[in-house]
Amino acid sequence: MKIIYYCYGSAHSSVLAAAIHVGKLPNNRIANKKEITQLPYYDKTKSYQIGTPFYYGQDEFNNEVYIIGMGSKRDLTKEILLNFLKMHGIDSNKLILVSALPYVNLLTKIGGNLSRRFGLVKVGRPLTIYSLQKVYFKFVDLVAEVKMKIRQFKANNSNKGNKIHLD
């Protein structure tokens, strides 16, 4: 199974969720600034990379975890992705798309824009970290929900063709 956490630019919330999912960040305490800034892709992706999936690691169920930025056209991007899989005979039942956007607040958006769009990294990056730390356990809960649904799916529906819907 492949899990894709998505957000606007694959630079902040999707990175945080994917890092928690694959164990690069703790799920029992709030990650500190250093832990977050050292994450692969955190506050580093460029606008031209929106739409590019990045491999983030493997979870304890041997699922591959990815991040992707979908910009402002999330519904269109998801539709294109699913149609591409179908066109190439790839089973979309083995794909889970998870929005990492529900807990992104105004401060995260401001920080992300300052850092990624305007190049004011020294101002924007600390704002994104601070704002995501404030809602860190909501991301932990999101990942826990994803993992619970994966366990349920594998236990009950692995051969029934059912899909996991998370967004």
Tens digit of pLDDT for each residue in 84-110? 888 888 777 788 999 999 999 999 999
Domain membership of residue 86 (yes or no) is yes
Read off the pTM.
Answer: 0.89
- The answer to whether the beta carbons of residues 6 and 14 sit under 8 Å apart is yes
Residue 34 lies in a domain: yes
The verdict on residue 110 lying in a domain is no
The domain of 43 spans: 2-102+136-156
Residue 152 lies in a domain: yes
Residue 50's region, left for phi above 0, alpha for psi from -120 to 50, else beta, is: beta
Residue 146 lies in a domain: yes
For the chain, what is the domain count? 1
Q: Which tens digits make up the pLDDT trace of 5-57?
A: 999 999 999 999 999 999 999 999 999 999 999 999 999 999 899 989 999 99
- Bridge partners (DSSP) listed for residue 10: none
Q: Is residue 147 part of a domain?
A: yes
